Amino acid sequence: MNIGNRLAELRTERKWTQLHTSVALGISRAALSHYEKNRREPDSETLLKFANLYHVTVDYLIGRTSIRGQQLSDGVRNFVDQLELSDDDLLNKYQLTIDGRVLTAEETKWFINFVRAERLES
């Protein structure tokens, strides 16, 4: 299954219109249609928006796994969210970059949570 099919499936499962979904993502309805019909692929920032909106991982969206979400219990997720990551000074002091672009605070939290989840599995 490709990205577009997964995006369309996730939206349809929620019974959301393309208009509702595009507004929630901050993109045009036409762009969403192109993504769902595999005419265009979303950039990494838009993929992250889709993942957050649908509560799935980017790996699921791009087809690297069939597991939709992270395997964290609500308790573990709440614990991780309450750690030092909520401290803006820490996020600003250690800025991560990928492909020459500084990660946003949200992307940094997601990255750190991903590393922690990987460590829990090993």
Residue spans per domain, the chain: 3-61, 74-121
pLDDT of 118 reads: 75
The proportion of the chain whose per-residue pLDDT surpasses 70, expressed as a percent, equals 76
Q: What is the pLDDT of residues 64-111, one digit of tens each?
A: 888 887 656 667 666 666 665 445 666 666 677 888 888 887 887 777
The single residue listed with the structure tokens 């990660």 is 103
Exposure string (b/e) for 72-108, b if CB count within 10 Å is 16 or more? eeeeeeeebeeeebeeeeebeeeeeeeeeeebeeebb
3-state secondary structure of 111: helix
- Has residue 61 got a pLDDT over 60? yes
pLDDT of 14 reads: 94
CB count within 10 Å of CB 22 equals 19
More confident of the two residues 108 and 49? 49
pLDDT of 115 reads: 75
CATH top class, domain 3-61: mainly alpha
For residues 19 and 21, give the distance between their C-alpha atoms in angstroms, rounded to a whole number: 5
- Per-residue confidence at 17, pLDDT binned at 50, 70, 90? very high
Q: What average pLDDT score do residues 24-46 get? A: 94
> In this structure, what are the phi and psi dihedrals at residue 73, rounded to the nearest 5 degrees?
-70, 165
pLDDT of 65 reads: 84
- Has residue 46 got a pLDDT over 90? yes
Nearest to 47 by CA among 38, 39, 59, 37: 59
